[in-house]
Amino acid sequence: MADGASDDAVEQLAALLDQVEAPLKKTFENVHQGYPTETLVRFLKAREWHVNKAQKMLVDSLNWRIQNEIDTILEKPIIPVDLYRSIRDTQLVGLSGYSKEGIPVFAVGVGLSTYDKASVNYYVQSHIQINEYRDRYILPSVTKKYGRPITTCIKVLDMTGLKLSALNQMKIVTAISTVDDLNYPEKTETYYIVNAPYIFSACWKVVKPLLQERTRKKVHVLRGCGKDELLEIMDYSSLPHFCRREGSGASKHSSTDPDDCFSLDHPFHKELYSVIQEQALNLELIKQGSLHVKIPEQDPEDAKIVEVIEAEFHKLGVENKSANGVDKN
């Protein structure tokens, strides 16, 4: 889209947003963190620059935030440290460092994530807390450091250990993806896929054509652990632990190794958990339990992609059984 047309779209969306009620304007402040234009652009990109569609998406997201008390999700409730550790040991998400341009680099252990230690609500709540901590603490901090708006992140997805049984986790993965797509659009600048086994390559082949061109351009499947390519955009110290040497993978994960960006002893998780504890104590909101965030209804296009992934996993499962002399009928 030409710069003039995109500027007009931003102005139109800003004018529409100016008409919403005060509570929506207030929660929008927590979303944009002082950079409303960049936030409006994100929602416009997510709706292919259709102003009315972007306005509906943004208003729906702001209402979702109010209804589910997202503005205070970093303040309540406290997750017990043993449960927090269990979630980290199965969800495998962490901040490994920053790119040379100051963009936060998040590592995700997709292949070895098991999601079997807590309820869906806890995982969704934990995921949203990381999103909010990123947007309200990490991004404003690096924005101040570099003197320019930094409003996105990079994700490095480790596929080590990806198995057909991952299909059992689609419910949680879909819930988290839906929350991100509808309420945190265009927050990830680039996805780097590393340590990809055959099962990922087979699924990617059928899913890639279904994705919007904007999304396809963001995804880069790297050779092996991706070390050489990633070192072009970040220093060695910011590489996720599973990218530091060929074949290391997330299988080396240790919940007590502070160099492991998934570990509770890693500075990112220690700081995040500390913030949640401190704010909850300050507000005397120290009850235990899950927040039960309502998961938005999935976009029909995304639902189709999930169906394709499930079908491909099923097909690979049948082929795998046949190859091993099982179920050849």
Give the domain 3-67 fold: Helicase, Ruva Protein; domain 3 (1.10.8)
Give the pLDDT of residue 76: 62
What is the sign of the dihedral through the CA atoms of 304, 310, 312 and 315? negative
Give the pLDDT of residue 143: 96
Q: In the beta sheet, which residues pair with residue 325?
A: none
Which residues in 282-310 are b (16+ Cβ under 10 Å) and which e?
eeeeeeeebbebebbebeeeeeebbeebe
- For residues 191-205, give the mean pLDDT: 92
- What value, to the nearest 5°, has the Cα angle with vertex 180 and ends 176 and 181? 115
| Phi then psi dihedrals of residue 271, to 5 deg | -70, -40
Give the pLDDT of residue 327: 46
Task: Judge whether 120 and 86 are in contact, CB under 8 Å.
Answer: no
Q: How confident is the model at residue 265 (pLDDT cuts 50, 70, 90)?
A: confident
Give the pLDDT of residue 184: 97
- The closest of 245, 234, 246, 241 to 263, measured between CA atoms, is 241
**Rounded-to-integer distance, Cα 268 and Cα 94, Å:** 7
pLDDT tens sequence across 17-58: 999 999 999 999 999 999 999 999 999 999 999 999 999 999
Please give the single-letter amino acid code of residue 147: G
Give the pLDDT of residue 31: 96
- For residues 256-285, give the mean pLDDT: 77
pLDDT tens sequence across 93-120: 999 999 999 999 999 999 999 888 888 8
Asked if the model's pLDDT at residue 329 lies above 50, the reply is no
**Rounded-to-integer distance, Cα 26 and Cα 8, Å:** 24
| Phi then psi dihedrals of residue 326, to 5 deg | -120, 140
Query: Where in the chain are the domains?
Result: 3-67, 81-282
- For the chain, the average pLDDT equals 86
**Rounded-to-integer distance, Cα 35 and Cα 271, Å:** 24
**Rounded-to-integer distance, Cα 218 and Cα 212, Å:** 10
Q: What would the CATH number be for the domain defined by 81-282?
A: 3.40.525.10
Adjacency order of strands within the sheet including 219-221: 93-98, 104-108, 153-158, 188-194, 219-221
Size (the chain), residues: 329
